[in-house]
Structure 1
């Protein structure tokens, strides 16, 4: 899953990253831009384009395509 961290003090947001890397980038932003203020804001998850791997429909489509190829080769 990909995550984007938003600053609670300004309009800064991280790119879509792994959760640990995004949290680190947000903390670095706070230390540089808002020293002395605890990191805040919110986290957005990218459910449409998760990081890594195929979705179920993509795997099912590939499996169906392979099944069609195997069946057509047996004739």
Structure 2
């Protein structure tokens, strides 16, 4: 999944990243721009493309289906 972390103190937001990388970027932002303030804000989940690898999974699924159909029609 892809996540975007928003700062609770200003308008900063991360790019769409993996959860751990986004959290790290948010912590770095707080350390640089809001020292002494605990990291806050909110996290947004990418609802348009929640699975970055879904296109690959679909392609593998189609290939497996084609292999099964080919094997079924050979015999």
| Comparing 41-50 and 14-23, the one that deviates more | 41-50
| Matches of 2:54 and 2:26, distance apart in 1 | 28
Structure-2 residue corresponding to 1:5 = 5
- Gaps (5+ residues) in structure 1? none
Structure 1 stretches of at least 4 aligned residues deviating more than 4 Å after TM superposition:
none
Q: CA RMSD in A?
A: 3.0
| Matches of 1:12 and 1:44, distance apart in 2 | 13
| Matches of 2:14 and 2:33, distance apart in 1 | 14
Structure-1 residue corresponding to 2:32 = 32
TM-score, length of structure 1 as denominator length:
0.72
Aligned pairs, number: 72
| Matches of 1:51 and 1:32, distance apart in 2 | 31
| Matches of 2:16 and 2:51, distance apart in 1 | 9
- Gaps (5+ residues) in structure 2? none
